[in-house]
Amino acid sequence: MGNCSSSHRCTIAAEGNLGNAAPCRRWLRSLGALICCVFFAPLCGADSAANGATLEKIGSGSLTWFGLQLYQAEYWESPHNCSQRRLKITYARSIPARKLVLSTAEQWQHLGMSDSGVYRPWLNQLMSIWPDIEPGDHLAVTVDDDGSAYFEGVDGFLGTISDPGFGPAFLAIWLHPDTSEPDLRSKLLSDRDSGCELPQLKQFGTVTLPPQG
């Protein structure tokens, strides 16, 4: 997933030390990206799922609020068998974990999902899995064809929710036709021609946020 940009100059001082460490690190990153794009070009637009499977990027887009960017979203699918989907959110602002969970509950309410007894456990699990977010942090979820979901963050694996209803319901926040952000949905699905069936929603009762711990 490198960017094939021009390299930076890396200067070496006479005594053998790096004269400017930051440009050197940028140059090394650019060199790595160049190697990726030259020798592994078919993979430069791909991403890896939780189990190492290669997924194809379908689309991406930003969510803004009164001109301020809140996050950048990217969506991938398995290229051949539709067995996995992946959504990555990179945040531009600090957000407490509890607020993320509250927003998730509100989006499910928007989609008409209701029975708190069904997915209150999901909200409790999210409260224990998700960290507080700082600018530049990301959360990524990989959903298997059995509906189980694997979350990753900047420090790696965060946790799993194995309930088969959770994965489709979570992706539906962005991908369902009745999403609160139809423009973002269009961008996420812009290059989609896989024929994979989009996540299906069940109808539930009222979403209740778990008590603050």
Count other C-beta atoms under 10 Å from residue 3's C-beta: 11
| pLDDT score at 111 | 86
pTM of the entire predicted model: 0.70
Structure tokens, 72? 């950048």
Segments making up each domain of the chain, as ranges: 1-44, 45-188
Q: pLDDT, tens digit, for every residue of 127-145?
A: 999 999 999 999 999 999 8
Please say whether the structural domain 45-188 has been given the CATH code 3.50.70.10. Answer: yes
User: For the chain, what percent of residues have pLDDT higher than 90?
Assistant: 50
Cα torsion angle, 101, 187, 84, 206, sign: positive
What is the C-alpha to C-alpha distance for residues 163 and 15, in angstroms, rounded to an integer?
59
